[in-house]
Every structure is written in C-alpha cells, then in structure tokens.
Amino acid sequence: MFHPVAWLLWLGAAVLPAMFSQNPLYLGIVCLTAGIVYAVIRRRSPLAQSWSSFLKLGLTLIALTAPFNALVVHAGRLVLFTLPQAWPLVGGPITVEAIIFGASKALSLFTLLLLFAVFNCAVDQSHLLRWTPAFLFEAGLITSIALTFVPQTLHSAQEIREAQAIRGHRFRGVRDLLPLFVPLLTSGLERAMQLAESMEARGFGGSLQPLSPRREALVKVATAMALLGLVSGFFTVTYFQGQQALGQVLLILSLIALALAFNIQSQRVRRTRYRHGVWQRRDTTLAAISAGVAVTVLVVRACTRASLTYYPYPPFSPWPPFNFLLGGALALLVAPAVLAGTRREQAQQPTPILAGEP
Amino acid sequence: MSRVTYYALRGAGCVMLICSLLIFASPPLHAQGSHRAGLVVQFGDGTVVTRCIGFSEDEISGEEILHRSGLTVLFDYTSGLGTRVCKIEADGCEVPAEDCWCQCQGIPCRYWTYFYVVDGAWHYAGLGSSNRTVHDGDVEGWVWGDGRASPPLLTPDDICGTGAEVKPLTPAPSPVPPEPNATANVVQLLPTPPDSNPPPDERTTVTATGSPINLSNYAAFAIIVLALGGLGLFLYKRMA
C-alpha cells in the first residue's frame, strides 16, 4: 500500500500532538483520523486483531484515570460533591474540572495507543526491519528472531495443548500446565539449535568486513567516549546554565564522533537485496503531508506553548481552546485513507515489497 | 449459597469495614470557634507581606491558607500528587504557558519555597502545601528563592496583633504590627487589602482563553469533525 518509510513519517507526525497536547479537541480529531485510516486499511492486514485489544486497553486507561484524578485533585469551580476533609488524600471537593483533566490526560495516552495500533495493522514488522541502519545489524537480527519466535512459540503451544487434549488431559489449574510447559521448552530449545545451525550453514557473520585490531579498538573507544560526551553535554546544557556554550560544543563534537564511528561500523556490512521496495508518487504525497503537519505542530508549540496545552483549573476556563487552522492541519492526517484508493485498485497494485522482484 | 452471592457478600463486607474504619478514624468535625494562622510571604525583591488568616475549621490545608489570603496565587494541579505553587502576585511562572518551576531548570534555581514554624524556628517543608494541615496558631512562610533563605521569624501575635479579634474567613488587612523588633523589614506591599474575601468561584483573573466560551471555535471544531465523519463514511463505502 504505502512504503514503510512513508508510514513511519505519518506515525511521527500523528504522534506529536498526542505528546505535546492534552487538549481533548485536538486529540479527538487525531483519534478520528486514526479510526478512519484503520477502517480503510483494515481488510488488507493480517494483524488487524490487535486493534480491539489496543482499544480495550485505552478505554480501561480512561475509565481508571478520570476517577483517580478526581479523587486526588480537589481544585475547580464546578463542584459535584464533597468528601469529608478528614479522609486522607481523597477528602475534599470532587470537581468536574479534575474529571475532565484526568480524562484528557488518559485520552492522550489512548491516542498514542490508537496510532500505534493503526501502524501495526498497516506495516509488516519484517518490512520495517529492512530499514534498520547497517551499524545496528546485530540488533536488527535479534529483533527479527524475537519477532518470529513469539508467534512460533504460541503456535507450538497451541499444538501441544491440542495433542494433550486428544490424549484426555484437561487443563484446569496451574498444576495441569506442567505437561504443556515441558514439551514447549524442549521444542523451543530444539528450534534454537536448528536456527543456530542454519545460521552457521549460511555463513552468518562471514560477510562482515574484518577490521584491523587497532581500528576495531579505536571504533570501540570512540563510541564509548562519544556516548559519554553526549551524556555530559546534555547534563551541562540542562543543569549548568552558566556553561551553555561549553555543553553545546561538547554535544556537537560527540555527535560527530558517534556518526564517524557508526559510519565505519556500517561500512563493514555488505547488504544485498533480493526484493526492492518501490517508492511511488503517493508515498511522496503522504510524506509531504505528514512533514507539513509535523512542522505546523512544532512551530505552534515553539511560538505559543499555551495554545497546545489544556489547563481547566481556575483561574482558567474549563472550556478547551480551539484553533481552526491547527485543527484543520491535524485533520490532514486522514491522508493515508484518501490516498489508499479503492479496494479494486489496491488489489491490482502490487505491494511495494514484492514489486521490484528481479 | 452460590459462589457469586458469596463473593458479593464478601466484597460488601470489605467495603463496610473500610467505611466504618474511615468514619471512626476521622476526628469529630465541629467548629471550635475561630482559629487563626499567620502567613509570611517574602518576594524576590525582599519585600515581605504578612497576612492573618482566620478559620473556623479545626484544621485546613496550607493551600487553603493561600486561597484565603487574598493574594493572587497561581497553582499547578496537573500532577495528581499534590498542588504546586507557581506564582504569587508578580513573582513566579505563568502556568500553563510556562513550566511551574520555569526558573528552576538548573542552577541558579528559584521557586516558591515553603516553610513552617516548628518550636520557634523555620523548617523547610518536606510536603507540599496541599498535603500539610495547618492548626490554630501556626505560621506559614513562602519565599521566592532557592530554599536556603527562610522568611523573617514572626509569631502569630506579631502578624495578627495581640488579642486582636479575628474575623473568620476574612483576609485580615494585616496592619503592620507595631512591635519594632519584628517589623524592621516588614513592608506592606499591598496597601489596600482586596475587597472582603472573594469566594473562589468569583475570583476573576486573566484567563488564557479570553472569554470563557468561544462558540465560533466550537462550531469550527464541529465542522471539522463532521467533514471527517462524512469523508470516513464515503471512503468506507468506496472500499466495500
């Protein structure tokens, strides 16, 4: 449908308002766009089942957070009822403002969950893994093994369960799970051995360009020093306001050192591609729209932070502020649903990963 | 007895036990005439304002003392773990446009530090003002600083005057106490006390949003939502 990188850009743009704003109106618009995008892309994805569990988790969050906030924060003009003052922590007036604020805080978490659920449905993780930087190749490999390991384990657990059930075993309590766990463990170990053998057979690690020992030590020391410099630079900039310039120089220098070290590491890995992703015109459109929305949100936050935040407690109004232009910009996040085309078109178009088959 | 009934009865029993514990643990709530507490506020330029706050309850929170003082105070209620004092009169940070501790992002650090008097000496408060209970005769102090400087030490009599009648719920105009030893650096910052205790719901200050309800903004929101809903329906139909 879309290129994974275009989806990543869309996710990045949509996540920004959820992180910066607790304003329920803006969050509501983002949620609505996420829902529309999900409704349009749903049929294509095998991962669509995760959507409802994300939804349930988010609703539970709202149902827990709003009453909790109302119980512990006793500020506001619209008082519903008053608990006795002598009750520790919860005593005091229970206000509408506190409920609204708790709900809108939870709504921002809910929005994040929703966006990631849509992203999960839209992009296959294995396609995403192709885009891990080369210097992280080991981490990418481990992630891909882990990602395939969990479904495989669940599958074999299901198989063992069925086999035991056929033999007449009933799973009722914790103690009945032993006949499930022991075969699961042995089959998992067996699979790990198989994986190791197949990696060995395919010459895992052999494609790495060797570095001279001196150079390898240099890269390691440079990475460690750069990370140390990065941490101390951040610390200096945020904590010692007098030494801002020193901290910034430290930050820039360590970033350059880190980039150099990663570059050398990346050159060691040679990657060949059997299938190439295709970047289509609508990927460009989606990327441009996402970048526009992200820039708008960032500029608004940099200029007037108050227009994104929402603070219902006195002396401010409990009615959330709303800017038509910002709301309209957020509504553009519906772009993937519009650009996806009809179902027939989608069926005719090859998925990007398969397209470049030689 | 079925299992469901058993669990329901057990749950109800737990709730009743907790309720009865709370009721017995709570002290009797009868007003014992009028109490008074002193409030000392030291601003960044060194000026000190004192207030004598009368209250009819047995105990009130330190936050409530500030509410009743008549000073313009901005609170931050967003954390859920207690209230932060962000601004008193002109000193402090403008929430929500700024962080509540906007001048304490590193060194130097300045914020509204909270003190109270224990055994004739100032103590830096370990708890926030909403979690502290103030009793009759207590003195509360607020200093715009880094937490090392404490406000000038005053007794409730210095602040309220000896034997002066205390008007409950009224922000006492805090006549600068006549004792010369304590009032050397006590300056009356606000010459006219605010008009007789505005209740919290009538307190009017600058609002971030201008008018409380801006209907045209909400109409715009409704238009955007309706447009998105229509678009969503159209796209869904097209998919089917």
Give B235's DSSP letter.
H
pLDDT of residue A151: 76
- Give the H/E segment covering residue B75: strand B73-76
Q: At what angle do helices A324-331 and A281-303 cross, to 10 degrees?
A: 150
Least confident among A151-155, B99-103, B124-128, B182-186:
B182-186
- Would you call B228 and A338 a contact, using CB atoms and an 8 Å cutoff? no
- Backbone phi, psi, residue A78, to 5°: -90, 90
Residues from chain A that touch B235, judged by Cβ atoms under 8 A, are 36, 39-40, 337-338
* Model confidence at B142: pLDDT above 90: yes
* Model confidence at A227: pLDDT above 90: yes
A342/B contact by beta carbon, under 8 A = yes
CA–CA distance, A349 with A134 (Å, rounded to integer): 30
Query: Where do runs of H (alpha helix) occur along A42-167?
Result: 50-72, 96-122, 125-129, 137-166
B199/A contact by beta carbon, under 8 A = no
- Comparing CB atoms, the residue among A313, A322, A334 nearest residue B221 is A322
pLDDT of residue A150: 77
Please report, for residues A91, A316, B38, B69, B202, the alpha-carbon distance to residue B62 in angstroms, rounded to integers and kept in the order given: 15, 22, 11, 11, 21
A26/B contact by beta carbon, under 8 A = no
B229/A contact by beta carbon, under 8 A = yes
Give A325's DSSP letter.
H
Residues from chain A that touch B73, judged by Cβ atoms under 8 A, are none
* Model confidence at B33: pLDDT above 60: no
Least confident among A31-35, B88-92, B163-167, B230-234:
B163-167
B98/A contact by beta carbon, under 8 A = yes
CA–CA distance, B6 with B3 (Å, rounded to integer): 5
CA–CA distance, A170 with B116 (Å, rounded to integer): 66
Closest approach of chain A CAs to the CA of B212, in angstroms? 5
B5/A contact by beta carbon, under 8 A = no
Least confident among A31-45, A83-97, A99-113, B2-16:
B2-16
CA–CA distance, A33 with B89 (Å, rounded to integer): 43
Contacts of A204 (CB under 8 A, 6+ apart): none
Task: Give residue A194's identity as a one-letter amino acid code.
Answer: Q
- Comparing CB atoms, the residue among A28, A304, A327 nearest residue B220 is A327
The closest of B59, B112, B109, B65 to B84, measured between CA atoms, is B112
Q: What is the mean pLDDT of residues A183-212?
A: 84
Q: What is the mean pLDDT of residues A187-216?
A: 84
* Model confidence at A114: pLDDT above 80: yes
- Comparing CB atoms, the residue among A68, A238, A334 nearest residue B106 is A238
**What would the DSSP string read from start to end of A228-280?**
HHHHHHHHHHHHBGGGHHHHHHHHHHHHHHHHHHHHHHHHT-----SS-----
pLDDT of residue A45: 61
Task: Give residue A250's identity as a one-letter amino acid code.
Answer: L
- Backbone phi, psi, residue A38, to 5°: -60, -45
pLDDT of residue A355: 44
pLDDT of residue A49: 66
User: β-strand B60-61 against B73-76: which pairing, if any?
Assistant: unpaired
Give B69's DSSP letter.
T
Q: What is the mean pLDDT of residues A124-147?
A: 78
- Comparing CB atoms, the residue among B25, B29, B77 nearest residue A73 is B77
CA–CA distance, B228 with A183 (Å, rounded to integer): 52
**What would the DSSP string read from start to end of A347-358?**
HHSPPHHHHT--
pLDDT of residue B201: 41
- Would you call A32 and B228 a contact, using CB atoms and an 8 Å cutoff? yes
Task: Give residue A73's identity as a one-letter amino acid code.
Answer: V
CA–CA distance, B198 with B175 (Å, rounded to integer): 20
- The three-class DSSP label of residue A194 is helix
- Would you call A75 and B80 a contact, using CB atoms and an 8 Å cutoff? no
What percent of chain B is modeled with pLDDT above 90? 19
* Model confidence at B50: pLDDT above 70: yes
- Backbone phi, psi, residue A285, to 5°: -60, -45
CA–CA distance, B165 with B54 (Å, rounded to integer): 10
CA–CA distance, B170 with B194 (Å, rounded to integer): 10
* Model confidence at A263: pLDDT above 70: yes
As a whole number, the mean pLDDT across chain A is: 85
Q: What is the mean pLDDT of residues B221-233?
A: 94
Residues A75 and A45 sit within 8 Å (Cβ to Cβ): no
Closest approach of chain A CAs to the CA of B121, in angstroms? 27
CA–CA distance, A139 with A86 (Å, rounded to integer): 55
What percent of chain B is modeled with pLDDT above 70? 65
The closest of A107, A133, A122 to A9, measured between CA atoms, is A122
**Residue with token string 């003052």:** A85
Q: pLDDT category, A125, cuts 50, 70, 90?
A: confident
B232/A contact by beta carbon, under 8 A = yes
Please report, for residues A158, A159, A177, A290, B23, the alpha-carbon distance to residue A164 in angstroms, rounded to integers and kept in the order given: 10, 9, 11, 51, 55
pLDDT of residue B227: 95
- Would you call B75 and A319 a contact, using CB atoms and an 8 Å cutoff? no
pLDDT of residue B186: 41
Q: pLDDT category, A230, cuts 50, 70, 90?
A: very high
Q: What is the mean pLDDT of residues A224-246?
A: 87
Selected residues 151-190 of chain B with any CB under 8 Å from a CB in chain A: none
- Comparing CB atoms, the residue among A74, A317, A328 nearest residue B224 is A328
* Model confidence at B56: pLDDT above 70: yes
Closest approach of chain B CAs to the CA of A115, in angstroms? 16
Q: At what angle do helices A96-122 and A4-20 cross, to 10 degrees?
A: 170
pLDDT of residue B182: 35
Token duo for residue B62: 């330190």
pLDDT of residue A278: 81
pLDDT of residue A87: 80
Burial class (CB in 10 A: 0-12, 13-18, 19+), A29: buried
Token duo for residue A240: 């010692």
A325/B contact by beta carbon, under 8 A = no
Residue A105 CA, chain-centre distance (Å), reads 18
pLDDT single digits (tens) B161-196? 764 444 344 344 444 443 333 333 344 444 334 444
Give B181's DSSP letter.
T
pLDDT of residue A110: 93
pLDDT of residue A126: 74
- Comparing CB atoms, the residue among A69, A241, A306 nearest residue B80 is A69
Least confident among A148-157, A270-279, B148-157:
A270-279
